[in-house]
Structure 1
């Protein structure tokens, strides 16, 4: 099967949606399918990626999105997907690349974002208009219940296919006293909450080390800032860490870094967000979003409790199986087949 995977976010920027799109192309190829990625950016992505025009950074959802706003991408996208057996677009409502795919058929569309309360209200009140936007989508999917719920308010019926990881490819060399954060330097990722909490952790565990992946900041006591790193470096740091902290403030629909950390043998300390609870369940210690004191107590308590860490990692070993590549890829292949059948019916 020839599958054109379209991502509206620039692949020369670090991001969860980009990573999922790139990974999916690789998995499809390994399964014997002819797949390519189409996305903004000047570089990045698997071999054969069709790079669209350069991107601009647009703020939204307490983050920054590197997208293309050049009207010429409409023609580029349609030319790039021509000849595909099925087109799979991630974030179809993200301009302009996502919009350009809405005329392609057969079409599978995946929604990743968990929108704000205001946007959810708009989905509910403008149900007919939302359904009209998606009228050419043969199979609509969402990565979580948090992402699916607003679509259902509009009368749509998305399938939930979670973000995936190759569980067996992660290694473990977890070292006591090592804590890791993985994420961009966006306010909603909550890094400032963690940094505010860290002195309280060091008071009780002076030997503890926090490694920050994906963000560069001025040096702080007991903190290593690695900035943006390769996938291999990120995996190595996760494998060497005993605890992952996800202090996000909101706006999350999934939390792929939680799944990656579970596969790497990390115990989890995370904000009490619905999306995180769905992913981690009983494999995490949760704290109220934005509460640096509660975060410090959770991390310090877990550092002092190796048995507690082991209980969480055992629970993680069970939970992470739901996000393994085998089940995720099978679900998408089923969606592709259904989209082709729907178009021909």
Structure 2
């Protein structure tokens, strides 16, 4: 498997690659993961780092990517030594280890597309250069219908939708933490996400919180995620700031316990989401979910049957829906039960079996993976294309 994003910084694609790899290893398969990582970064035995990455802004976030001739040589050596039956490239058009691996490989190739961005000028501009490489992909996977539409819109062809996976039992069996539990007078809300990234929706929650506090004065908000806490507090009124506890980055185990402990999980993301893995995690833990009505979120929540929604970026509607749920324990319990049942379709035992079926299809009667005969020509084609683009 190839991950384009650095393993130094946690992210949805990195977690997907890690969990899928570990599931297959537990089943007895031999798995090697290639990804950027700074020297000295602790990595699992199955991950090989390609060296440091640089931050690049893309799709409302910051991605850490590795690209260039040194990384390309490391990718080529990894493929040459691997003797792989299949190479599974995540985000194959991302200019990092993934695109370099696509250039460098011949043989059975599966690609997973995670991004949802129907107006990507970068994809539109790069398609003529990338088209010969994209033809090497034998099996295409999209993690959601939104990601599939991005593929069909910008890259042509189609992809089978296989969602992100969750270890449902790990969340369902997570111990409750008393300090994160609410009471009828002081219920707790959880928010998970990078607090410096506006599209994760913390500013929307900040605008809604005073309205929630008027109806539920004792409400507490537990914010888990990396970022500048002082800057986040400055955007809050003193009363709202007093109601918020910033936990910083939390471990996987603490995240599961947090979701298992709170009265409500809130996902006020404003865009750029192709799936919404944290919704599946919250449902697995038994937390009732309230999320913005992004199409990807609505699909994860089974059209709203497994979780409540509010109008995207509408702080007043968020507050109305949150107050309704916080004041109605029976409604929360019903929502949690339906969410927990829905979560089972995202369990890795289900998702990984679907991925393996794609592997089996593309490898049937095919030779093993080998290095491409002319990987350097692909590098030249890219650099010529970029130069021509700059000249125009």
TM-score by length of 1: 0.92
- CA distance in 1 between partners of 2:298 and 2:145 (Å): 11
The 8 Å contact of residues 26 and 46 in structure 1, kept in 2 or not, is answered as no
Aligned to 1:209: 220
Q: Does residue 199 in structure 1 map to residue 210 in structure 2?
A: yes
Partners of 2:90 and 2:123 in 1: how far apart? 22
Cα distance, 1:279 vs. partner?
A: 0.3
1:36-87: per-residue Cα shift (whole Å, max 9, x none)?
2211113244223111111111001111111113331112112223322211
Query: d(CA) in 2 for partners of 1:155 and 1:13?
Result: 31
State whether residues 118 and 150 of structure 2, in contact with CA within 8 Å, keep that contact through their aligned partners in structure 1: no
- SS in structure 2 opposite 1:226? strand
Q: Any stretches of 5+ residues in structure 2 without a counterpart? A: 234-240, 369-392
Alignment of 1:266 onto 2:277: no
> 1:236 — aligned with what?
257
Matched, 1:9 2:5: yes
Residue of structure 1 in register with 2:363 after alignment: 340
Q: Is the 8 A contact 1:215 1:225 kept in 2?
A: no
| Residue among 269, 283, 304 paired with 2:306 | 283
Query: What is the aligned length?
Result: 339
Higher relative contact order (CA 8 A, sep 6+): 2
Q: 1:182 aligns with which of 183, 189, 192?
A: 192
- The corresponding residue for 2:318 is 295
Secondary structure at the counterpart of residue 57 of structure 1? strand
Contact 1:55 1:66 in 2 (8 A): yes
**2-side partners of 1:57 and 1:146: how far apart?**
25
Name which of 321, 335, 341 aligns with 1:318.
341
Map residues 87-102 of structure 1 onto 2, 5 A cutoff: 87-102=87-102
1:106 aligns with 2:108: yes
Listed one character per residue, the Cα deviations across residues 135-187 of structure 1 (whole Å, up to 9, x for unaligned) are 01111111011000122234312111110011112135383311111112312
Which deviates more, 180-189 or 22-31?
180-189
- Structure 1 unmatched runs, 5+: none
Q: Could you tell me which residue of structure 1 aligns to residue 37 of structure 2?
A: 41
TM-score norm. by structure 2 comes to 0.81
The answer to whether the 8 A contact 2:93-2:130 is kept is: no
Flag as ranges the 4+ runs of structure 1 deviating above 4 A.
118-121, 126-131
The answer as to whether partners of 1:61 and 1:116 remain within 8 angstroms in 2 is no
Instruction: State whether residues 116 and 251 of structure 1, in contact with CA within 8 Å, keep that contact through their aligned partners in structure 2.
Output: no
For residue 34 of structure 1, give the secondary structure of its aligned residue in structure 2: coil
Aligned-partner Cα distance in 1 for 2:36–2:122 = 28
Root mean square deviation, CA, Å? 2.1
